[in-house]
Structure 1
Amino acid sequence: MSLKPEKFTRYLIEAAVNRGIKEMQEDPKRSVRKLADLGRQFARGRFQKNFFALSQTLLLDGNSPYYSLLSRLTEEIDHETLKKFGVNIGYTSWTYGAELIRAYEREHGLAVPWSLFIHYHPEGSFCLSRLEALIQEGRRLGIYTYCLCLEAVPEDWQGLISLFRRYDNSAFLIFLPDEELQEEQALLLSQCRNLLVSAEIAPSYRKNISLLRQNKCMAANHYYYSDSGREELQLRLKDCESPLLFFLPQKDTPPSARERLAESVYQIRYHPEHPVFPIELFADYKRIDYIISGRSCFLEIDSEGRIPLPGGASFCITQAGFSLPRLLQAAAPAVSCEALC
């Protein structure tokens, strides 16, 4: 039986990534350049072409801290996890999923986000079965990446881990609250290859990031900012104990402060001083969406399943008759089909 085109492409990419990871351990600088060149050859989507062109530009400097960052990735993260999560994001979500999203937008005239940002509480009314139903609908539209901001650490992780494993070619990002993980929980998380786990920079984060690194998880840090300046941003990067640092705005952070920090993050990425890759989650989320669709669409769901709508109303996905297309029709602006061709 022949493989479907997307599965065959994925097979080729995974084989190339396996070789790239092996070579990166032997000669990081040479292998990274080769991987960037190879990436451009596979780059079919709008995002990949932008990403790999940027990668080649950033790596022209032989002393770039990003070489140290990439070495950290191969040293600190299980190689199967690094490969699976990377391919799920880079190919399944940003290429295959992006093609499905653009097709749906052209047909229905609705904006579709490339990912969903979900607040999740283990005891909330937005339970695992409803989360799974949302993921199933999202994947049919081309949404293969899901960000979960945990409001409490589950006593039993098995339900979430089983859910992630059922959707093996999706990518999941979990943002932990300021609560300590236990060793057995970190071990369980490490066995989920399509998962990135981020520890909040707060009192418990050093223990959490240490446990995640010991178990070779795909680990990151995140920091909730208010009106942070460039100096504080650099301080957070210097003190960060993982290769990735997400910046998330606090609820009362004014739009002007968000814009300033997002611009600082963008500039620092081009002129790095530390082996840490900074991401302003919401601004970069929208930037990716704009590359995929020609305009941005962002959906944030609270732990009770509510989504705020324009005009002060809200849409609850726990109500009877919910469907993701209905939500997009109510929440997302209509898009120009010509802009998506």
Structure 2
Amino acid sequence: MENSVSRILVETVVKRTLRDMKEDPERSIRNLIDRALLVSEGRFQKRFFQTAQRMLHNERSAYYPLVRSLVENVEHARLLGFGMNVGYNSCTVCAKKIRALEAAEGFNIPWSLYLEIHADRFHKNRQRYASLLDEGKALGIYTWFFHADGFSADLFRLMALHPDCAFVLLCPPEGMDGALVGEAERLNHLMLGVGLNAQAERVCRTLRERKMLYSVYCRYGEDRLDDILSDSLLHEAQALGAPFTLFLPETSCRQEMQAKVYDYVRRIRDEQRFPTIPYELFRDSMAVDTVISDDGCSVGFRADGSFFMLADCGEKRRVTFCERPLRDILRTCLPKRTNGDAILSSARSPS
């Protein structure tokens, strides 16, 4: 994606705001949100900045210390690179592209893709993964969630080829090879996600010392519900200095449990009690897509390459991206609904 005049102007404003935040982060972030709302054109932009403006009217909001921590503890080039790729490239420029392609071709296109990655399979099929990213970008997909079992030099090289995308790489701390942290450090369009376990503190400390952008995540099932609803996990995330806490359901997690967790996530975000922003990966991604495109969808690929859907948005078929191009898969599995009804926003786990 070329650097347009519009993007350059937005980058200039954001850079100036990041500098100003060192002196007065509260006032600077309010001014930035107010200015952004005035010039917002897309519906996603308007809704996002309206919500942010409403939240920041709360002078006791825990998101003020969150912003201060980000500005003080993360290299500004990382905040700018990742933030611009999500907010401008993905949710502004490519949101328009997605809507236009959907209208012209008659199938749904997700704003982001979730990929499970196992190192051995990735190494064997790395060229197909490279093609998948190219195919996704051609459709307007510029935000990617990778859930990997460990760091991989090949994976970092692939992400480096797409500096205009935003990547979130979720990985258990034991898989975060210290020798490869330097590879991640070179990517300003990457946010690492550290799995919450006993080793998370060590890894988060290393990332914080290097001024890298990171989050934490929790795979949840029946056994984690009490920890989540009692705020224990968010207290843990707060202690680790993570600005974002992602919740990712286990494959076997029942819909009722996912609904409880998502209700909790939305309530906690609205209350603004913790200096970490909770995000239910499947359902919040679906909510974003529903704003970008009325016919929302949330989809991904398993480690074996098989496609799965997180909502009742099409006939389920056994297809893999190793066998068919992404465009063909989406056309087959995500046809636009002829009656114009919105796709269900409550995600359904794949079988």
Q: TM-score, normalised by structure 1?
A: 0.92
Report the equivalent of 1:104.
101
In structure 2, C-alpha distance between the alignment counterparts of 1:34 and 1:312, rounded to whole Å: 46
Question: Of the candidates 120, 128, 131, which is equivalent to residue 130 of structure 1?
Answer: 128
Instruction: Indicate yes or no: 2:236 matched with 1:239.
Output: yes
- Provide the rounded CA distance (Å) in 2 between the counterparts of 1:37 and 1:336: 39
Distance 1:140 1:31, change over 3 A: same
Distance 1:138 1:182, change over 3 A: closer
* Structure 2 match to 1:315: 319
CA contact (8 A) 2:33 2:49 kept: yes
Q: What SS class does the counterpart of residue 119 from structure 1 fall into?
A: strand
Please give the per-residue CA displacement for 1:262-319, whole angstroms capped at 9, x wherever unaligned.
0111011111222111111111000000000012212210112111476664101112
> In the alignment, residue 41 of structure 1 is paired with which amino acid?
L
Judge conservation of contact 1:243–1:275 (CA < 8 Å) in 2.
Answer: yes
Q: Deviations over 1:180-210 (max 9, x none)?
A: 5343322221110000100000122111111
Give distance in 1, aligned partners of 2:141 and 2:284: 17
| Residue aligning to 1:295 | 295
Q: Is 41-50 or 63-72 further displaced after alignment?
A: 41-50
Compute the displacement of 1:43 (Å): 2.0
**Deviation per CA, 1:205-230, whole angstroms, max 9, x where unpaired?**
11111111111111000011224148
Query: Given that residues 102 and 108 in structure 2 are in contact (C-alpha distance below 8 angstroms), is that contact kept between their aligned partners in structure 1?
Result: yes
- Describe the superposition over 1:87-115 as per-residue Cα deviations: whole angstroms up to 9, x where unpaired: 10001000111111000000011010001
Question: Is the partner of 1:303 in helix, strand or coil?
Answer: coil
Give the distance between the partners of 2:118 and 2:15, measured in 1 at CA. Answer: 36
Instruction: Give the deviation of 1:69 after TM superposition.
Output: 0.4
C-alpha displacement of 1:232:
3.7
Correspondence 1:69 to 2:73: no
Q: Note closer, same or farther for the CA distance 1:124–1:261 as it changes in structure 2 (3 Å cut).
A: same
Query: Residue 337 and residue 73 in structure 1: after superposition, are their counterparts in 2 closer, same or farther (change >3 A)?
Result: farther
The 8 Å contact of residues 111 and 335 in structure 1, kept in 2 or not, is answered as no
Aligned to 2:28: 31
Q: Report the Cα offset of residue 129 of structure 1.
A: 1.4
Question: Partner letter of residue 207 of structure 1?
Answer: R
Letter in 1 for 2:53: Q
Correspondence 1:143 to 2:141: yes
Work out whether 1:224 is the aligned partner of 2:219: yes
Aligned to 2:331, the other structure's residue is in SS state: helix
Cα distance in 2 for residues equivalent to 1:294 and 1:46: 11
The aligned amino acid for 1:132 is A
Q: Identify if the C-alpha distance between structure 1 residues 248 and 151 changes in structure 2 by more than 3 Å, giving closer, same or farther.
A: same
Aligned pair partner of 2:170 in 163, 175, 185:
175
Q: Which amino acid aligns with 1:333?
A: P
The one-letter code sitting in structure 1 at the alignment partner of 2:56 is: L
Query: After the TM superposition, which parts of structure 1 deviate over 3 Å for at least 4 consecutive aligned residues?
Result: 229-233, 308-313, 335-340
Q: Does 1:214 align with 2:209?
A: yes
Aligned pairs, number = 332
Residues 127 and 47 of structure 1: CA distance in aligned 2, closer, same or farther (over 3 Å): same
C-alpha distance in structure 2 between counterparts of 1:214 and 1:231, whole Å: 28
Note closer, same or farther for the CA distance 1:199–1:231 as it changes in structure 2 (3 Å cut). Answer: closer
Q: What's the TM-score, normalizing by structure 2? A: 0.89
In structure 1, the residue matched to 2:268 is 268
Give the deviation of 1:323 after TM superposition.
1.5
CA RMSD of aligned residues (A): 2.1
Quote the residue 1:84 is aligned against. Answer: 81
Tell me which residue corresponds to 2:56: 59
In the other structure, the counterpart of 1:203 is 198
- 1:335 deviates by 3.6
Q: Percent identity?
A: 27
Contact 2:169 2:192 in 1 (8 A): yes
State the Cα distance separating 1:165 from its structure 2 match: 2.1
Distance 1:148 1:305 in 2: 13
Q: Is the 8 A contact 2:85 2:165 kept in 1?
A: yes
